[in-house]
Amino acid sequence: MNVDQDLNKTRKNWGSLMGLQFFLFFILVVFAGCNPDDQEANGDSFDREAFLVNTADNLIIPAYQDAVVAAEDLCSALYDGTLEEARAALKECSMKWQAAAPFDFGPAINRGLLTTTNTHPCDTIEIEEDILNGNLVPGLPTTLDRTGLPALDYLLHKGEWNADRLLHASYLAGYLHDELQAVLDSWVDGYRDDFVSRTGTDIGSGVGMMLNAFNRTYEGNVRKGKLGLPAGVFSFSGNPKPHVVEAYHAGDWSIELLDEAMSATERIYMGGDGVGLDDYLQFLGDVSYGTELDAEIKAQLAAAQAAVLTLEDPLSDFVVENQPAAIDVYSELQSLVILFKVDMMSALGVIVTYQDTDGD
pLDDT for 360: 52
Sketch out the chain's domains with CATH numbers. Answer: 43-348 (1.20.1420.20)
Q: What is the mean pLDDT of residues 164-193?
A: 98
Q: Measured at the alpha carbon of residue 143, what is the angle toward residues 140 and 147, in degrees to the nearest 5?
A: 110
Q: What is the C-alpha to C-alpha distance for residues 224 and 327, in angstroms, rounded to an integer?
A: 11
| Residue type at position 216 | R
Query: Which of 221, 155, 150, 187 is closest to 68 using CA atoms?
Result: 187
Judge whether residue 224 has pLDDT over 60. yes
> What is the pTM for the complete model shown?
0.87
CA distance 167 to 265: 35
pLDDT in tens, 87-131: 999 999 999 999 999 999 999 999 999 999 999 999 999 999 999
**CA–CA distance, 175 with 284 (Å, rounded to integer):** 44
Mean pLDDT of 273-277: 97
Contact (CB, 8 A) for 173 and 74: yes
Per-residue pLDDT reduced to its tens digit, 51-101: 999 999 999 999 999 999 999 999 999 999 999 999 999 999 999 999 999
- Is pLDDT above 80 for 15? no
